[in-house]
Amino acid sequence: LSSRAHRAQDTVVKVSDVSFGGDPFVVVAGPCAVESRDQLAATARSVALGGAAVLRGGSYKPRTSPYSFQGLGSEGLGLLAEQRAATGLPVVTEVVDPADLTHVAEVADMVQIGTRNAQNYTLLREAGRAGKPVLLKRGMASTVEEWLLAAEYVLAEGNPDVVLCERGIRSFEPSTRFTLDLSAVVVAKRLSHLPVLVDPSHAAGQAELVRPLALAAAAVGADGVMVDVHPEPSTALCDAGQALTPAGFDELVTALDSLLAGM
């Protein structure tokens, strides 16, 4: 179902009034984690003004360490709904546990499945039945084929609205947190009709790499990017090193606009 043999033309996935796939290039932005009403409101305001089309924010966080901030859970979903109302931006947020899926899908405009759950077939199947578009991160050790087969689990349940997201893979190279695999974007778009996004924030783990990698993603034909933004990155409770400031986000959007205008 995900293959070009099944469907030759590019799929456009609608999330509220935002189209993933085709024109225009989509910018998804927001905090890695929803931390508080004030933090989310400040971030949502600045990314909306800066040109984001979709607000991101994790409320159920899949943290590597059980001692790290795990997210606000249901309370965070309520804050995301508030900011959707305040900014008009649709919301994407991650579901970690199948038991939370119904609740997450009630609030979110798009449900995210993260890299750590990219081969959780129970969750993928249930996301296929949840009635919301799905943003499917690539597993950090998944081949492109395994990533597309993960998408297949969602599609096979009757949900055609899957957006793929390259977010970096494990490699021998320690100078970035993961290695952003831009060739996988080109390959995935060649093999599949599904839209492909790139998350340079989680790939690099470093804010100063986000802009060049986002520009590179646009240059290789990604349909959009998803980036972390925080009003005060040094205080972020999750992945502080990779968050752009609101000013950094504005610079990114300006740079993307000028690159895309010349393509």
Q: Which residues bind ligand PEP (CB under 6 A)?
A: 32, 58, 62, 94, 114-115, 137, 167, 199, 202
Closer residue to ligand PEP in complex, CB, 137/193: 137
Q: Which is nearer to ligand PEP, 51 or 62 (CB)?
A: 62
Please identify, using beta-carbon distances, which residue of 165 and 194 lies nearer to ligand PEP. 165
Rounded to a whole number of angstroms, the minimum distance from the CB of residue 199 to ligand PEP is 6
- Minimum distance from residue 177 beta carbon to ligand PEP (Å): 9
* Nearer to ligand PEP among residue 128 and residue 200 (C-beta): 200
Question: Closest approach of Cβ 197 to ligand PEP, in Å?
Answer: 11
92 φψ region: left (φ > 0), alpha (ψ -120 to 50), beta (else)? beta
CA–CA distance, 211 with 226 (Å, rounded to integer): 11
76: left (phi over 0), alpha (psi -120 to 50) or beta: alpha
Complex with ligand PEP: residue 46 or 115, whichever CB lies closer: 115
DSSP state string for 103-118: HHHHH-SEEEE-GGGT
Minimum CB separation of residue 58 from ligand PEP in Å reads 4
C-beta of 25 vs 178, nearer to ligand PEP = 178
State the residue number with the nearest CB to ligand PEP: 114
Nearer of residues 70 and 115 to ligand PEP, judged by Cβ: 115
Q: Between helices 121-128 and 144-155, what is the axis angle to 10°?
A: 40
Provide the minimum distance between the beta carbon of 224 and ligand PEP in the complex, in angstroms, as a whole number: 14
Q: CB 32 → ligand PEP: shortest distance, Å?
A: 5
| CB atoms closer than 10 angstroms to residue 67 | 7
- Looking up tokens 């009034």, which residue turns up? 17
* Alpha carbons within 13 A on the beta-carbon side of 70: 7
Cα distance between residue 217 and residue 85, in whole Å: 30
24 preceded by a cis bond (ω within 30 of 0): yes
CB of 114 to ligand PEP, least distance (A): 3
CA distances from residue 157 to 15, 71, 118, 123 in whole angstroms, order as listed: 19, 29, 16, 12
Tell me 229's DSSP state: B
